[in-house]
Amino acid sequence: MKIAILGGGVAGIASAIAFRQQGFDVTVHERRAADENIGAGIVVWPNAAFVLAQFGVLDEMAAVAARPRAMRRLSRHGDDLGALDIGLIDARMGYPSLSVLRTDFQRILTSRLRSLGVDVQYGRRVVHIDTGDDEARVHFGDGSMLTADLIVGADGRMASCARRYVTGANTPIYQGFVNWIGVYEGPDITFDMDAISDYWGTGERFGIVPVGPHTAYWAGGAAQDAVGARDPAACHDELLRVFADWPAPMRQIIAGTPAARINKIHVHDHDPVATWHRHNLVMIGDAAHAALPTSGQGACQALEDAWHLARCVASHPDDLGQALQAFTALRFQKTAGITMAGRSLASSLFDRDEAACRARDENSRRADFTQLAMAMADGWSRHLPLRAGVPG
Ligand SMILES: Cc1cc2nc3c(=O)[nH]c(=O)nc-3n(C[C@H](O)[C@H](O)[C@H](O)COP(=O)(O)OP(=O)(O)OC[C@H]3O[C@@H](n4cnc5c(N)ncnc54)[C@H](O)[C@@H]3O)c2cc1C
């Protein structure tokens, strides 16, 4: 069976690896001119670490990652709002949580794919998908056209051609906040490698994820009513204005991050849809179920899609329709739940009402973090053969 994958992001590369491991013939078509990326970092939660272990790259990933043990919540003034015990999640799921820079993450996956005999084809922008003889036909910007036995649409959340082909529309929903993301590297700050720090304000939030003693990726978020300008040169000033009177690490991190390593994102997601395939095309990753960064699970769910899809196709060798049906049935509820959980946390984090934010902080102080860790672990474990109970 010949499989063409549209998009060389997390979902595209991961599904190419999973299909190659099952012995399929794959090609990957990516619009970018080369293997560059602008992301900051990723927390690989244990469900995603499981998939990386199946790909044979977990140890390599762990060697360039930090192993956070706690996610501390703090008020914008630095007051303690409680902490999630990540060690408990890891122990319950049997795999480690890792924080890693996006460049390292993508490099390790791409080189694993290369070791399986597949190079990503860059400069291949999909412009349109239509139907001929009951199968999807993919048209590229250079005028070429492609068909395959199976087409995997992994072309992201913002303008997915695959999503338009399957559902008739592909407009993502702006969720009322912006994120500035960046990577700090420098001798002036020594990070506590054990802890992710999540500072909550009123309509504002700042998260710091260490990946080394002097390296961390970070995200500053703020409520903003409409999608506005995205001037890279203005990011420093905007950030310093929004977080001017926040505790020192934030201002130091912002000031110490070069402008070239800061990106501003107007954050969008998609409403869950239950249909993910049409004819021989299936969409995966953000194209199928983009969740907000507050879910913490976007890239992790893209990895899960990749692993499940290859197995579903391999176990229905003579019936692609049944394979895609089985895949969607397996994945829809879990990903829809994660999308809705991401929205719920975002709406409380980016609430601009002072009283509501005070109540939210008080609830966090009183929360049962053990129960929360168990619920997260059990939700993320769904449909995966994890070794629950094995120390991470
Ligand atoms: C600020 C922020 C922070 C995040 N933090 C985390 C985190 O900590 N943990 C986590 O798990 N997730 C996180 N995510 C989510 C995560 O980045 C995504 O869910 C994940 O990258 C989805 O992978 P994907 O391959 O589906 O999409 P993408 O990574 O967007 O990849 C899509 C690929 O398709 C290509 N493409 C697009 N259109 C075309 C076309 N027409 N033709 C050819 N190629 C095309 C793109 O160039 C891209 O390479 C975060 C997201 C944001 C916005």
Among 319-323, 343-347, 385-389, the least confident range: 385-389
Q: Which of 36-40, 48-52, 342-346 has the lowest mean pLDDT?
A: 36-40
Q: What is the pLDDT of residue 231?
A: 85
* Ligand 1 near 173 CB (within 6 A): no
In this prediction, residue 35 has a pLDDT band, given cuts at 50, 70 and 90, of: confident
**Domain residue ranges in the chain:** 1-35+120-172+271-344, 36-116+173-269+353-392
Tokens of 126: 């999909």
Per DSSP, the three-state class of 90 is helix
Name the pTM for this structure: 0.97
The model's confidence at residue 233, banded by pLDDT at 50, 70 and 90, is confident
Percent of the chain residues topping a pLDDT of 90? 94
> What pLDDT is stored for residue 134 in this prediction?
93
Cβ-proximal residues to 65 (8 Å cutoff; 6+ apart), any chain: 44, 98, 99, 100, 104, 211
pLDDT-based confidence at residue 388 (cuts at 50, 70, 90) = low
List beta partners, residue 269. 173
Nearest to 108 by CA among 45, 157, 35, 38: 35
Query: Which structure tokens are listed for 315?
Result: 């176990």
- Inform me whether the pLDDT recorded for 33 exceeds 80: yes
Q: Which atom of ligand 1 is nearest to the CA of 291?
A: 19
- Expressed in angstroms and rounded, the spacing between residue 81 Cα and the centre of ligand 1 is 31
How confident is the model at residue 391, as a pLDDT? 40
Per-residue confidence (pLDDT) for residue 392, from 0 to 100:
37
Would the CB of 31 count as within 6 Å of ligand 1? yes
**Six token digits for residue 348:** 């409380």
Is residue 342 lining ligand 1, measured as CB closer than 6 Å? no
The C-alpha atoms of residue 243 and residue 208 are separated, in whole angstroms, by 14
Per DSSP bridges, beta strands 281-283 and 150-153 are: parallel
Q: What is the pLDDT of residue 106?
A: 96
What beta strand segments (E) does the chain contain?
Answer: 2-6, 25-29, 41-44, 70-75, 80-85, 98-101, 126-132, 135-140, 145-146, 150-153, 173-185, 195-200, 204-212, 215-223, 262-269, 277-278, 281-283
**Pocket mutation for ligand 1, best pick of 30, 36, 50, 101 (most atoms within 8 Å of C-beta):** 30
Q: Would you state the pLDDT for residue 23?
A: 97
For residue 36, is pLDDT > 90? no
- For residue 362, the CA-to-ligand 1 centroid distance in Å is 34
* Mean pLDDT of the residues in the chain: 96
- pLDDT value of position 230: 81
Ligand 1 centroid – CA 391 distance (Å): 31
Taking Cα atoms as reference points, which of 200, 199, 225, 175 lies closest to residue 354?
200
Residue nearest to atom 21 of ligand 1 (CA): 299
Distance CA 242, CA 220 (A): 9
Any ligand 1 atom below 6 A from CB of 8: yes
For ligand 1, whether the C-beta of 68 sits within 6 Å is no
Can you give the C-alpha Rg of the chain in angstroms? 21
Could you read off the pLDDT of 119-144 as tens digits, one per residue? 999 999 999 999 999 999 999 999 99
CA dist 156 → 74, 84, 229, 268 (Å): 32, 30, 21, 11
- Compute CA distances 301 → 165, 194, 337, 387, whole Å: 22, 24, 12, 19
* Closest atom of ligand 1 to CA, residue 160: 38
Distance CA 375, CA 366 (A): 17
Residue 223 bridge partners (DSSP)? 177
**The architecture CATH gives domain 36-116+173-269+353-392:** 2-Layer Sandwich (3.30)
> What pLDDT digit, counting tens, does each position of 167-192 carry?
999 999 999 999 999 999 999 999 99
The highest-level CATH class for domain 1-35+120-172+271-344 is alpha beta
